[in-house]
């Protein structure tokens, strides 16, 4: 029932409570015979050491906070993967993950930190210029970012490798003969944060890579709805009829882009290839033809974020930045250039 205490175990094993603690934690060497008695007693009593008491004694809670913006940005299905993976990774290291929805302006963040509730913070949806990072740094709270600020040097973080992601998408398109590629991103709308890293870094990577490869290109943005995606796509294809491939980094607009191609009198993928960037696999099966996509590594980022943070907490190790490319998810929306 969880009411068994270390004292109960000690009594039953006929040893002191200190010795029980030594075997539970592996802190000190203990005679095999003594250890056996204690382990038997623990099994009999179904002993689980009390977290609160331990936390008080060692002055660490083994709790991690997952801080994310409650309202500012709608989190999609990728986030659930991310959360689950982070929580699972935490559990593996005997930590727990507490959900901490706060507003982006860092209100409420300070109170959290001083209550000694958590040992460290995992920060999601990091902005290029993020007040929460400043707050955490000033407070001296250990933290790791998922994403990164404009200048993240010296901080702990894991992020998407936007360069490798865009590069992989272009590789595939080039190999199929595409020479004129469009990028549709976000613009306006309630979900678009100013200085949102993934957007800015994707744009930069795209601009540089098409130049390096000598590809023709065009970049536009639209609000995060299907109809905006459809509209911008029709306009795009009217103004740049030679475009044969579109990269979309705008989850809500993606399916609208597919519709827009059709409404322009063209077919996916026969006339125009479409690759969705950085979304979750769900959307692929939701569309027909199934979308070809570069899938966000939500699971890997969740795990890495926790590992980086825990390593730092446990051993002071400052793991270098971890950049993970999106993974290619085959679909039916890409074909050779017409």
Partner DNA sequence: CTGAAAGCGCTTACAG
Residues that bind DNA (CB under 7 A): 3-7, 14-19, 21-22, 24-25, 27-31, 33-35, 47, 49-50, 53-54, 56-59
- Between the alpha carbon of residue 120 and those of residues 63, 193, 213, 240, the distances in Å are 7, 25, 43, 50
The SS3 call for residue 173 is helix
Min CB(142)–DNA separation in Å: 18
Does 93 sit near a second copy (CB under 8 A)? Answer: no
CA 89 – CA 87 distance, rounded (Å):
5
Does 224 sit near a second copy (CB under 8 A)? Answer: yes
294 with 278: CB under 8 angstroms? yes
Does 101 sit near a second copy (CB under 8 A)? Answer: yes
Q: Could you tell me how many residues make up the chain?
A: 338
Q: Which residue in the set 25, 286, 314, 318 belongs to the binding site for a second copy (CB under 8 A)? A: 286
- Of 29 and 238, CB closest to DNA: 29
Contact partner, 134, from DNA, a second copy, none, Cβ < 5-8 Å per class: none
- Between the alpha carbon of residue 332 and those of residues 225, 265, 270, 291, 336, the distances in Å are 22, 18, 10, 6, 12
Does 88 sit near a second copy (CB under 8 A)? Answer: yes
CA 38 – CA 15 distance, rounded (Å):
8
Min CB(63)–DNA separation in Å: 15
Q: Which residue in the set 80, 107, 150, 211 belongs to the binding site for a second copy (CB under 8 A)? A: 80
67 with 111: CB under 8 angstroms? no
The SS3 call for residue 19 is helix
Exposed, middle or buried by CB within 10 Å (0-12, 13-18, 19+), for 2? Answer: exposed
Per-residue contact string for residues 57-76; x = within reach of a second copy by CB under 8 A: ----x-x--x---x---xxx
Angle at 186 between CA 238 and CA 218, to 5 degrees: 40
Run of H or E residues at 222? strand 216-222
**What residues between 131 and 170 interact with a second copy by CB under 8 A?**
139-140
Min CB(205)–a second copy separation in Å: 25
Contact partner, 286, from a second copy, DNA, none, Cβ < 5-8 Å per class: a second copy
Q: Which residue in the set 97, 160, 237, 268 belongs to the binding site for a second copy (CB under 8 A)? A: 97
Taking phi first (over 0 means left), then psi (-120 to 50 degrees means alpha), and beta for anything else, what does residue 102 get? beta
Q: Which residue in the set 113, 232, 236, 237 belongs to the binding site for a second copy (CB under 8 A)? A: 113
- Of 58 and 107, CB closest to DNA: 58
Min CB(300)–a second copy separation in Å: 16
Per-residue contact string for residues 228-267; x = within reach of a second copy by CB under 8 A: --x--------------------xx-xxx--x--------
317 with 311: CB under 8 angstroms? yes
- Of 30 and 70, CB closest to DNA: 30
**HSE of 221, CA atoms in CB hemisphere, 13 A:** 11
Contact partner, 16, from a second copy, DNA, none, Cβ < 5-8 Å per class: DNA
Contact partner, 28, from DNA, a second copy, none, Cβ < 5-8 Å per class: DNA
Min CB(36)–DNA separation in Å: 10
> What is the DSSP code string of 243-278?
--EEEE--GGGHHHHHHHHHHTT--TTTT-EEEEEE
Question: Do β-strands 156-160 and 63-69 pair in parallel, antiparallel, or remain unpaired?
Answer: unpaired
Binding site residues, a second copy, CB under 8 A = 1-2, 4, 46, 48-53, 55-56, 61, 63, 66, 70, 74-77, 79-80, 83-84, 86-88, 91, 96-101, 111, 113-117, 139-140, 224-227, 230, 251-252, 254-256, 259, 282-283, 285-288, 290
């Amino acid at each position: 029932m969880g009411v068994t205490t270390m004292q109960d175990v000690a009594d039953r094993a006929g040893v002191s409570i200190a010795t029980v603690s030594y075997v539970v934690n592996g802190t000190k060497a203990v005679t095999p015979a003594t250890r056996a008695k204690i382990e038997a007693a623990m099994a009999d009593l179904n002993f689980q050491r009390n977290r609160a008491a331990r936390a008080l004694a060692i002055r660490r809670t083994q709790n991690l906070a997952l801080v994310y913006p409650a309202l500012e940005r709608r989190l999609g299905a990728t986030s659930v993967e991310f959360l689950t993976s982070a929580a699972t990774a935490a559990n593996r290291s005997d930590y727990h993950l507490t959900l901490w929805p706060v507003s982006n302006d860092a209100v409420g963040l300070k109170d959290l930190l001083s209550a000694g509730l958590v040992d460290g913070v995992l920060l999601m949806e990091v902005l290029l210029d993020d007040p929460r990072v400043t707050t955490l740094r000033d407070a001296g709270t250990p933290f790791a970012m998922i994403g990164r600020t404009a200048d993240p040097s010296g901080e702990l973080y894991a992020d998407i490798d936007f360069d490798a992601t865009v590069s992989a998408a272009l590789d595939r398109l080039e190999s199929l003969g595409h020479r004129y590629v469009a990028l549709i991103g976000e613009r306006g709308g309630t979900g678009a944060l100013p200085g949102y890293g993934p957007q800015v870094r994707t744009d930069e990577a795209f601009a540089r890579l098409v130049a390096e490869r000598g590809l023709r290109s065009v970049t536009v943005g639209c609000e995060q709805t299907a109809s905006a995606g459809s509209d911008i796509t029709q306009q795009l294809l009217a103004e740049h009829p030679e475009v044969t491939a579109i990269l979309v980094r705008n989850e809500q607009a993606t399916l609208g882009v597919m519709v827009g191609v059709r409404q322009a009198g063209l077919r996916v993928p026969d006339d125009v290839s479409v690759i969705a960037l950085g979304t979750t696999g769900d959307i692929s099966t939701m569309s027909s033809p199934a979308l070809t996509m570069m899938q966000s590594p939500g699971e890997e980022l969740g795990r890495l974020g926790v590992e980086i943070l825990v390593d730092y907490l446990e051993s002071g190790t400052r793991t270098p930045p971890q950049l993970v490319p999106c993974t290619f998810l085959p679909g039916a929306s890409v074909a050779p250039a017409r």
